[in-house]
Amino acid sequence: MQILRGLEQDSSSPVGFGLHILFVAAQGEDHGIAHRLAGLGGVIERQEELYSALDAIIESPRDFGLVVIDCDSFGGLERGQRAVGLLGEAAGKVPVILVSRDCTHQQFPQDRAMATVLRAPLSSVALRVGFEHALRDRMALREFAPHHQD
């Protein structure tokens, strides 16, 4: 397990500050995604084995604010989508982003149990949009909370 923290937090990132993110990618496969997530304010825990990561999520879904899977390091988008299917009830409790070259259309589903799907190579803009979409419920709570703190 490897934990990364962004040294230079992006001040325009209201969502990720301190968020515990599980980043799943095979050893040596990163493509800079972990550092970009850290730059959005996340605290990154890296897991290099897909099924160990799934087990950790199923056991304690509340331990993670977001899961990001580099599908290409595990056999492609289809395998990543099957992995999300294996999460069962945990899929609705923790948002998931899948990243793959196999992605022809980026997907931003409204159903919380479905993963956001982003095309690789991942641009900073696509990651930011996918990040904010996956965490939209958290963003709504943060925007609502300050109005009631008098």
**pLDDT by residue (tens digit) across 25-82?**
999 887 789 989 988 888 999 999 999 999 999 999 999 999 999 999 999 999 999 9
For residues 120 and 74, give the distance between their C-alpha atoms in angstroms, rounded to a whole number. Answer: 14
Predicted pLDDT of residue 32: 87
Residue 13 pLDDT: 41
Closest CA to 120 of 77, 64, 75, 58: 77
pLDDT at 29: 82
The mean pLDDT of the chain is: 83
Which pLDDT does position 140 carry in this prediction?
44
Q: What gap in Å lies between CA 41 and CA 17, rounded to an integer?
A: 4
Q: What local confidence, expressed as pLDDT, does residue 138 receive?
A: 63
pLDDT at 92: 85
Q: What angle do CA 119, 124, 127 make, to 5 degrees?
A: 55
| CATH tag, 2-145 | 3.40.50.2300
What does the domain layout of the chain look like in residue ranges? 2-145
Residue 141: pLDDT band with limits 50, 70, 90: very low
Higher pLDDT, 148 or 59: 59
What pLDDT is stored for residue 84 in this prediction?
A: 94
Q: Is the pLDDT of residue 19 over 50?
A: yes
Give backbone dihedrals phi and psi of 31, rounded to 5 degrees, phi first. 60, 25
